[in-house]
Amino acid sequence: MKSIYTLLILLGLMAMPVIAQDEKVMIDFEDDSQYTVWRMDKPASYQVTNQFASTGEKGMALHFPKWEEGMPERHYIEIRPTEKDWSGYKYIAFDMTNPTEQDWKFELYITDDREKVDEACHFRIEVPMLSTRQISRDFKFRSEHKVDKKNITRIAFYTKKSNVPIEAVLDSIRLVKKKPDKKDYNKDIAQELRPLRLRAIRENLENVRREARSQNILPQFIQVVDDEAQSILKRAMDPDISYEDLILCLRDSLNVQSSLQRFAQFKDLYTDYRKLGKPLTGYMVGFASSMRKVMPKHLPVKMSIENEVEISLAANEEESFQLAVVPFGESLKDVSVTASDLRGVNGQVIKAENIACDLVAFTQTRDLKSYMKPDDVNYVGWWPDPIIQNPKPVDVALGDVQPWWVRVHVPKGQKPGKYNGQVTVTQNNGTPVSFDLTVEVYDFAMPDHAPFPVMLNTYPDMNKGLLTTEDWKTLKWDWIDFLTDYYMILDDIYRGPSPDRDDALDFEILAYLKKEGKLAPFNLGLFYSGEDKYIDPLQYNYDKVKEMGLLEYAYIYGFDEQPSWAFPDIEKATMKFQKRFPEVFNLTTTNDGQSGNNPAMPHLKGYCPIIAGYNQGASDSARKSLGKYVWWYTCVWPPHPYPNIFLEYPPIDTRTLLGFNATRHEVDGFLYYATMIFGENNNDGINTYPYTNWDSISFINTHGDGRLMYVNDKKQL
């Protein structure tokens, strides 16, 4: 009988829930003794709360003040953990809730008893308004060999000149050995937040409808506000609406507020437009530089009312401007834009086939990103970015703005002088409206290849599943011609030297580009070690390129963004390059800390710091004293005020990276790690426009980083 009871006890133990040994809860806020490990820098504060607790009954409410002049730049709330040995763990995880109607972000750093902030683990915490998130981060230390993971003494949450007061609820801080399952939010807390979101949406929409009637806005645009408000509220009240879509409704309710300023602006613009004496067709037309984003909805429009648009460019150059159509009476059907031939005073002609009237399309964002600053870009919704070649006529809804991208190409050998023609807007077989277009051609020509050296990853291999081998045979030359039209070539900075790779050097393409005068720098292969077994495979590409007489265009790139431990290996590799491939340029983005002057790597020919780390004096010294080349690069970082390539940033950022700023700082070249990261769109190109089916997410949850091009459903760029 005893054995039966023993068996029952064992079975009962087996049925009990097993506590995962891969996770250790450090603080769950249920025990009052846990609050003794907290410290704060006033006026920051913390207190126990029973609201929005993710585990148990309690959580910790954190408060950081809005920064004002005279305050310290940073405010801290920190923990002195009793669990100091983190050596067996890889991740820190915790639950964070934002119970306010403002987006916010702050920082976290973790360090040992030496408390050297520059060697600590840093990352940013972002939780949207009225949202909750389960956050997990790999605690990578800036100097792994210096931080004692067995003696972690400080976990600090802090703000730096926060432009808003921050209220947050923190719960369940834990250490995790394996990467946690993806859980974006606690469902119980999300349910708690639902009525708060609905209340905020109702209040926002009631306020905006009331304000619309008190401001200088025409009745047809008041109706647009009412219709959008009704649509948002209907979506929000759907009992089956998802957690993510409800926050999008909240953002949309705030966007409608921005429409009031936009529609007041429309009235002033239309007053100016009528002074031009154009036919009254129910819409107005404005113009904008190619360096601006012309927003389709909600935000004020950056365009001017003109009777004529003028641009200047060299022979063999392209320049663009935007023409924007704005319905003023009612929605428009089948709108299109065309251009005429341009004629000079002595009969010379730039034919209309050299003027592309392409459509600007839009891709939707669903949340704010860390690189977006409230005083810079703070809008979630439809952003202009894809450019649709040879578009069909499109409809334009009342309240929207639809831009066209007019790109003028001046052929080689075109005589200098002024050329005149027109751009014309037509809608639904109505009366055409034309505007004068003047193009001034300078007395010099641009080269067929990029005059400024660039290293770009333009290879479709980064998008597995997008192209089959048969697709590539059909599309290859179309892709090559598209790239060279924008001063790019097919290249991969991460190319392995093996001829069996999908991204192997295509010698047929190299020969074609050389013949056409369009060849630019290309990569022989990636290097990431100084060992012969990794360098030997480069020999095949070197010999073939040397035979073709193209070594002056070749480079070898490697040790991508590595720390100082890589210096000896880089020197070992570049010494061998000097002997085996002496004509070939080599470059790294490893941070040498001295802008190319580091004595540990004397055989390295080129150094490429990130733009935020570019040092003018040190770079000049490296060039003049050591004969080094100093490039620069950007990637998912840094944000503004540095120029960068994100969906929400203005196009002028790209032009300054390769033009104005590069010239000012005497930069030798520009490197960008990717141009075709298509995110979740690998197998589905754009098949609807102007509001596209394209998912705006690209590299590590950003919008547009690593993407300069789009692809349509026929797999054409």
pLDDT (tens digit per residue) in 574-586:
999 999 999 999 9
Q: How far is CA 92 from CA 166, 243, 523, in A?
A: 22, 25, 39
Please report whether residue 706 resides in a domain.
no
Question: Which amino acid, residue 221?
Answer: F
Please report whether residue 14 resides in a domain.
no
Yes or no: say if 587 and 631 are a contact pair by the CB < 8 Å rule: yes
Collect all residues with Cβ–Cβ distance below 8 Å to 506 and sequence separation of at least 6: 490
Please report whether residue 177 resides in a domain.
yes
Q: Using omega within 30 degrees of 0 as the cis cutoff, is the peptide bond preceding 391 cis?
A: no
Q: Give the CB-side neighbour count of residue 51, counting CA atoms within 13 A.
A: 13
| Owner of token pair 């109702």 | 202
The Cα 267–Cα 212 span in angstroms is 14
319 confidence band (pLDDT: 50, 70, 90) = very high
Q: What is the CATH number of the domain that holds 365?
A: 2.60.40.10
Same domain, 124 and 234: no
Yes or no: say if 363 and 635 are a contact pair by the CB < 8 Å rule: no
pTM of this prediction exceeds 0.85? yes
Same domain, 299 and 427: yes
**Pick from 416, 445, 474: which residue ends a domain?**
445
The Cα 694–Cα 697 span in angstroms is 9
* Each residue's pLDDT tens digit, 382-428: 999 999 999 999 999 999 999 999 999 999 999 999 999 999 999 98
Looking at the structure of the chain, the number of domains it has is 4
Yes or no: say if 120 and 109 are a contact pair by the CB < 8 Å rule: yes
Least confident of 143-157, 300-314, 439-453, 490-504: 143-157
Q: What is the CATH number of the domain that holds 39?
A: 2.60.120.430
Please report whether residue 11 resides in a domain.
no
Q: What is the CATH number of the domain that holds 485?
A: 3.20.20
504 confidence band (pLDDT: 50, 70, 90) = confident
Helices (H), 55-157: none
pLDDT, residue 22, reads 82
Please report whether residue 101 resides in a domain.
yes
The Cα 593–Cα 615 span in angstroms is 10
Same domain, 84 and 108: yes
Question: Which amino acid, residue 190?
Answer: A
Same domain, 196 and 178: no
* Each residue's pLDDT tens digit, 322-368: 999 999 989 999 999 999 999 999 899 999 999 999 999 999 998 87
Please report whether residue 541 resides in a domain.
yes
Same domain, 268 and 282: no
The most confident of the ranges 17-21, 29-33, 96-100 is 96-100
Same domain, 332 and 475: no
Q: How far is CA 336 from CA 296, 576, 657, 688, in A?
A: 16, 59, 33, 16
Collect all residues with Cβ–Cβ distance below 8 Å to 281 and sequence separation of at least 6: 427, 430, 431, 433
Same domain, 413 and 527: no
**Pick from 445, 477, 510: which residue ends a domain?**
445
Yes or no: say if 60 and 214 are a contact pair by the CB < 8 Å rule: no
Please report whether residue 545 resides in a domain.
yes
Same domain, 412 and 474: no
| pLDDT above 70 (res 17) | no
List the domain range (segments joined by +) for residue 459: 454-701
According to DSSP, the β-strands at 554-558 and 670-672 are: unpaired
Same domain, 658 and 539: yes
Please report whether residue 393 resides in a domain.
yes
The Cα 208–Cα 257 span in angstroms is 6
Within 10 angstroms of residue 687's Cβ, the number of other Cβ atoms is 11
Task: Identify which of 357, 383, 425 has the alpha carbon closest to the alpha carbon of residue 255.
Answer: 383
Same domain, 572 and 618: yes
Yes or no: say if 462 and 491 are a contact pair by the CB < 8 Å rule: no
DSSP conformation class of 320: E
Least confident of 89-93, 114-118, 236-240, 325-329: 114-118
The torsion region of residue 593 among left (phi > 0), alpha (psi -120 to 50) and beta comes to: left
pLDDT (average), residues 521-538: 93
Same domain, 697 and 574: yes
